[in-house]
Amino acid sequence: MSLAIQITLNGESRAIELDDPRITLLDLLRERLELTGTKKGCDRGQCGACTVLVDGRRVNACLTLAASLEGASVETIEGVADGPELHPVQQAFIDHDGFQCGFCTPGQIMSAIGLLREARVHGDPERVREQMSGNLCRCGAYAGIVEAVLDAERLTARESERGVA
């Protein structure tokens, strides 16, 4: 049974034919659309490696059926940079060494972007740790990740005050 959906993927409208209505967003992104930045970790929604934004909200792509996304806007790690200019969260991860092996980094970055859009941090490292707790890092880069999120929050707040963001 085939099913057609219309989504906006990284700002581009896409009509997608689903051969199997049970395909997850993660498998659609990686296997059909060849957007391999979103990682397959546990495939059970426990590690956060597959975090993407759907209509601005953080979701685990491994638990989200693609068929349920009719009309939705999906953002992946491939869509956050503005050409050669990195998103402030991407740059902050580099500046604060918020990654080691890099496997969890795309999901961490997408979760951080969603978190900062939700405005739930307010400069509090404990809030960052709590709000990012759904994203696991086996290398233990948590200190750098927290600092990166706090730095990106400061930067985006300054840009908003200046009317840049």
- Same domain, residue pair 109 and 148: yes
- Same domain, residue pair 7 and 41: yes
Band the pLDDT of 157: cuts 50, 70, 90.
Answer: confident
Q: Can you give the residue range of the structural domain that contains 108?
A: 88-162
Does position 160 have pLDDT exceeding 70, yes or no?
Answer: no
- The pTM (predicted TM-score) of the whole model is 0.92
CATH number of the domain encompassing residue 13:
3.10.20.30
* Residue 83 included in any domain: no
Q: What percent of the chain has pLDDT over 90?
A: 85
Dihedral, CA of residue 111, residue 112, residue 114 and residue 115, to nearest 10: 110
* DSSP line for 68-126: GGTT-EEE-GGGSSBTTBPPHHHHHHHHTT--SS-SSHHHHHHHHHHHHHHT--TT-HH
Q: Pick the last residue of a domain from 45, 60, 78.
A: 78
What confidence score (pLDDT) does residue 122 get? 84
